[in-house]
Homo-oligomer: A and B are copies of this chain.
Amino acid sequence: MRLSNTSQYAINIMVAIAEHKETKLLNAKSISDTFDIPYKYLTRIMPQLVEAKFIISTRGREGGYSLAKEASSISIINILNAVNDSLHASKCILKPGMCDANNKCALHDSWMVPNKSIKIMFNQTTLESITNL
């Protein structure tokens, strides 16, 4: 029951950029150092977050990253979706696909309770709510 490294990295990256309040842009090296994210791996995640329109990248010397929109408008689920193909959120916990009502997996009903809690958390938690602004 875990989040992939890539997802963990992405969330930490977004938090770092949201919290960065200096005039100089925050660059990949700093983020890599702060969270012990392998630099070369991080620099492959960054373009995905740019592509998702969460951050703006500025290339060249003195370049780096900054938020592209309000921290309050970016929730954890958005970040997860940007780096994972899908969160598996709607998938069943005991089989590859989804359970249908007639043919439920053994944990289907039991899992609904924590799964709902997870979904609510990922949906309602925004960058604003978890950063020191």
Contact = CB atoms under 8 A, between A and B. Distances in A.
Name the residue in A87, A91, A95, A114 with the highest tally of chain B Cβ atoms < 10 Å from its Cβ: A114
Contact of A125 (B89, B105, B110, B125): B110
Copies of this chain in the oligomer:
2
Interface residues of A, number: 30
A68 interface: no
Interface stretch (A8-16, A20-28, A48-56, A58-66): A8-16
A80 to B, nearest CB: 8
A2 interface: yes
Contacts of A87: 1
Given A1-B1, A93-B8, A94-B11, A113 B107 contact: no
Given A1-B1, A12-B106, A114-B114, 10 more contacts: A1-B2, A1-B118, A8-B93, A8-B94, A15-B106, A76-B110, A106-B130, A110-B130, A113-B121, A114-B120
6 contacts: A1-B1, A2-B2, A2-B88, A11-B94, A12-B105, A113-B121
